[in-house]
Amino acid sequence: MKKFHFTPKSRLLLIISILSILFFFSLADYIFSHDLTPIQIQIYHMMTSIRSPFFNFILISLTKSANPLPILFVTGASCLMFLLFKKYKESLLCMFTVLALTLSNLLLKLHYMRERPTFEHLIDESGYSFPSGHSMMSFGIAILCSFLLYQYCQKRSWAHLLSFFSFLYACLIGFSRMYVNVHFLGDVLGGFLAASSLVCLILSLYCGFFSFTKSQ
């Protein structure tokens, strides 16, 4: 049985995880203890002021790219790729991370039971609002992608670039959820923080149990 080694990387990831969950609970406490209606109305007016048929098409398409079916397809393709290269730990890591993000988001929504915005939605959406599932999933996958890129990508410049685009995509997903009026700003930020806490915890344990080098 493998022993856990508290490496510098696993320690850093654990610290990020703890800080993220503390910020998440602080955000949740603020959201549910304050009247945020004026701020939410301001954001709604800001979003409607930039709407156009072109932006509607782009952002609705973008937000749908983080729906469960595309995420399932990307996860399955990634796991298959790792299996083909005999990277079994990485394949398991991808599957477990996406499953953990899905289940934890469901549990958090059932716990907080925050209703979605009552403004006109640009897409059909049901269920509770906090934290945003699309934001949580996309940001969690961005963290996972960044971790794997820096672990295996031989060229640091490529790792930097692809990691940047991964997080940019996650941020755009969060923005699109507000644009289509199915989430508040707090829902999106909550999704980012919850994903950061959960995925960094998973990666901390992964690094501790599987201390390895790129050559492995």
Among 198, 212, 207, which Cα is nearest to 6's?
207
pLDDT mean over 180-191? 94
pLDDT > 60? residue 213: no
Which amino acid is located at 182 in the chain? V
Neighbours of 90 (CB within 10 A): 22
pLDDT mean over 131-159? 92
Residue 122 has which token pair? 């640009």
pLDDT mean over 101-116? 95
* Location of structure tokens 């007016």: 45
- The reported pLDDT for the residue numbered 39 is 86
- The reported pLDDT for the residue numbered 216 is 41
pLDDT mean over 56-66? 94
Q: pTM (2 decimals)?
A: 0.90
Residue 35: band (very low, low, confident or very high) from pLDDT cuts 50, 70, 90? confident
Mean pLDDT score across all residues of the chain: 90
Distance of CA 5 to the CA centre of its chain: 27
Task: List, as own/partner pairs, every contact residues 55-58 make where C-beta atoms lie below 8 angstroms and the sequence separation is at least 24, other chains included.
Answer: 55/179, 56/122
The span from the first CA to the last CA of the chain, in angstroms, equals 19
- The reported pLDDT for the residue numbered 214 is 42
Sign of the four-CA dihedral 161, 183, 120, 30: negative
Residue 37: band (very low, low, confident or very high) from pLDDT cuts 50, 70, 90? confident
pLDDT mean over 208-216? 58
pLDDT mean over 72-79? 93
pLDDT > 50? residue 61: yes
